[in-house]
């Protein structure tokens, strides 16, 4: 895997601050696990619309292109970050390390996001050898929240983001209400196991209606 250079989102104050693409194989297909972090460098809330992603290999050849829209979270405050964690199929064999080249499209947010607290997070290993996480989410806002998602960005011994876990809270959360969650994944990088996780970034959000991706965005 290889880090790409930051790519900015044009006139909107948002930039890519971190991106990696790790080569994977399984089920007879070649693919890449991509992790991208975008930061709001402005002074207003931003709504993340899409990310046009190009993957290149060690020879500089394009091995995949994809339009990504599943941001965690979709609305970020000034100084905040949003993450993309996607499995991307390769269209041709890759030579050498992969490089992720993301281009963001963001817009000013029409409304702010609800406030949540994630607490009591702990990590365990399940019987399949995957990392599991458990914790609680509390609605700190003044309105009911639906489709709440809890997210953990796992960091390795160097403090670098290495993987992302998320889980949906099935029931609505009233103001002050709390709900538990449990997450697991079988697709962590081969170099990362439970003992390698030194820290995590924990947050929760309630998705707003998806903005329209403009024609020709990719």
Instruction: Report the domain count for the chain.
Output: 2
Rg (CA), the chain: 18
Which domain, by its residues, includes 75?
14-108
Gap between the terminal Cα atoms of the chain: 23
pTM score of the predicted model: 0.82
122 within some domain? yes
CATH number of domain containing 188: 2.60.40.10
pLDDT digits (tens, 9 = 90+) for 50-85: 999 999 999 999 999 999 999 999 999 999 999 999
Q: Assess whether pLDDT exceeds 90 at residue 89.
A: yes
Nearest-angstrom CA–CA distance, 63 and 23: 11
| Phi and psi torsions of 195, nearest 5° | -70, -20
CATH number of domain containing 54: 2.60.40
pLDDT digits (tens, 9 = 90+) for 99-140: 999 999 999 987 666 789 999 998 877 777 666 789 999 999
* Mean pLDDT for the stretch of residues 166-174: 93
Instruction: Report the 3 state secondary structure along 91-136.
Output: CCCCCCCCEEEEEEEEEECCCCCCCEEEEEEEEEECCCCCEEEEEE
Same domain, 103 and 125: no
1 within some domain? no
What lies within 8 Å, CB to CB, of 5 at 6+ separation is: none
Same domain, 123 and 193: yes
């Amino acid at each position: 895997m290889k880090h790409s250079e930051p790519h900015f989102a044009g006139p909107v104050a948002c930039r890519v601050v971190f991106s990696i693409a790790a080569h994977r194989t399984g089920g007879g297909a070649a693919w890449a696990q991509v992790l991208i972090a975008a930061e709001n460098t402005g002074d207003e809330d931003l709504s993340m619309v899409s990310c046009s992603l190009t993957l290149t290999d060690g020879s500089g050849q394009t091995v995949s292109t994809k339009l990504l829209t599943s941001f965690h979270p979709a609305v970020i405050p000034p100084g905040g970050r949003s993450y993309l964690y996607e499995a991307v199929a390769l269209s041709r064999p890759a030579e050498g390390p992969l490089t992720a080249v993301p281009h963001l499209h963001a817009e000013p947010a029409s409304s702010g996001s609800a406030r949540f607290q994630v607490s009591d997070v702990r990590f365990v290993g399940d019987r399949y050898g995957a990392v599991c996480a458990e914790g609680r989410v509390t609605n700190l806002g003044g309105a009911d929240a639906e489709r709440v998602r809890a997210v953990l960005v796992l960091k390795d011994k160097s403090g670098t983001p290495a993987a992302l876990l998320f889980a949906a809270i099935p029931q609505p959360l009233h103001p002050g209400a709390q709900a538990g969650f449990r997450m697991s994944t079988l697709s962590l990088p081969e170099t990362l196991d439970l003992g390698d996780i030194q820290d995590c970034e924990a947050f929760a959000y309630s998705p707003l209606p998806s903005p329209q991706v403009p024609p020709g965005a990719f």
